[in-house]
Amino acid sequence: MFDSIERLTAESRGYPSIAAMVVAKEAAEREISEKQVWQIMERNLAVMEQSIEEGIAGVTSVTGLTGGDAKRLDEYLNTNESLTDSMILKAVRNAIATNEVNAKMGLICATPTAGSAGVLAGVLMAIRGPLKMSHKAQVDFLFTAGAFGLVIANRSSISGAEGGCQAEVGSASAMAAAALVIAKGGTPEAAGQAVAITLANVMGLICDPVGGLVEIPCIKRNAMGASQAFISADMALAGIKSVIPPDEVITAMKHVGQQMPSIFRETAEGGLATTPTGKRIAKELAKRA
C-alpha cells in the first residue's frame, strides 16, 4: 500500500484523514466492505483494553521470570509522587501490562509484533481520557499508526530477527509517535517527522532476549518505546524537524539492521543474554524443559 512517508502524506491529502484513506484502501485491497475493515480494528482495540486491564491487575509469566511490574507501577502512580508526567507514566504502565500478559501467553494485539505490542496500546489508553477521544478517534488512532507502520515494514523491517529491537520496539514507538501527532491535531508531515525523530533515537537498538524469551529486556523496552513516542510527538508538534528526511531515516535503519551481527538479532547470543545472570537464567530454563 505504501512504501514511503512522502507518498503516504501526499496521498492522504485526497482523503478526510489518514485513517479514512487506510480504511478505503484496505477494503479495496481485501475486497471487503469498509465496515468490515473497521470492525476488525475495533476488535484489536478491545483486545488492547483487555490485556492492559489484565496486566495492571497483576500477572506472572509462564516462566516466573517476570510479572507484577505493571501493578507495582500502578500503585506508585496512585501515590502522586512520580517524577515523570502521569500521562507518560500511565502509558509506560500500560505498555508493561500488555507485555506481561504476552509473557503469560495471554491474548494481546501485535502492533507491529507481539514483542512490541505494549507501546501503541499503552500510549492510546493513556491519552484517550485527557484528549477526550471518542471511540471513532481511538480506532482512527490505530489506523493512522498502522499506515506509518506499513511504510516502515515495506521500506525496512519490523522483525527483531532481521533488524534487531530497533525494528520492533523502535517501529512501534515511531508508529505511536506519528499517531499521537495526528490525534493532537498535527499534520501528516509533522507525523512523519515524529517517525524520523523516534527511529533516529533508537537506531542500532539490539535484540538480546535472555533465555531466548520475549521477556527480558523486552517488557521494559516497551516502556521505553512508549515514553519515547511522547517526546518525539511533542518535538514534531513544536515544529522541530529531523535533519535527515523520514524516508532516509527508515532506509538507514534497514541498513543498520543488515549490518548488525547476528548475535544481536534475536538469537540470545549477545548483549544481556550473555551476562553471567543471563546465562544462569538460560541454564535454569533449559533444565525445566
pLDDT in tens, the chain (289 residues): 789 999 999 999 999 999 999 999 999 999 999 999 999 999 999 999 999 999 999 999 999 999 999 999 999 999 999 999 999 999 999 999 999 999 999 999 999 999 999 999 999 999 999 999 999 999 999 999 999 999 999 999 999 999 999 999 999 999 999 999 999 999 999 999 999 999 999 999 999 999 999 999 999 999 999 999 999 999 999 999 999 999 999 999 999 999 999 999 999 999 999 999 999 999 999 998 7
The helix, strand and coil proportions of the chain, stated in percent and rounded to the nearest 5, come to: 70, 0, 30
Rg (CA), the chain: 18
Number of domains the chain contains: 1
Q: Residue 105 is part of which domain span?
A: 5-288
| SS3 of 150-214 | HHHHHHCCCCHHHHCHHHHHHHHHHHHHHHHHHHCCCCHHHHHHHHHHHHHHHCCCCECCHHHCC
Contact 166, 204 (CB under 8 A): yes
Under the phi-then-psi rule, with left for phi > 0, alpha for psi from -120 to 50, and beta for the rest, what region is 54?
alpha
Q: Report the half-sphere exposure of 287 (CA within 13 A, side-chain side).
A: 6
- Give the integer Cα–Cα distance in Å for 247 and 15: 22
C-alpha grid cell, residue 216: 527480558
CATH of the domain at 139: 1.10.4100
- 3-state secondary structure (DSSP) of residue 60: strand
Q: What pTM, to 2 d.p., does this model score?
A: 0.97
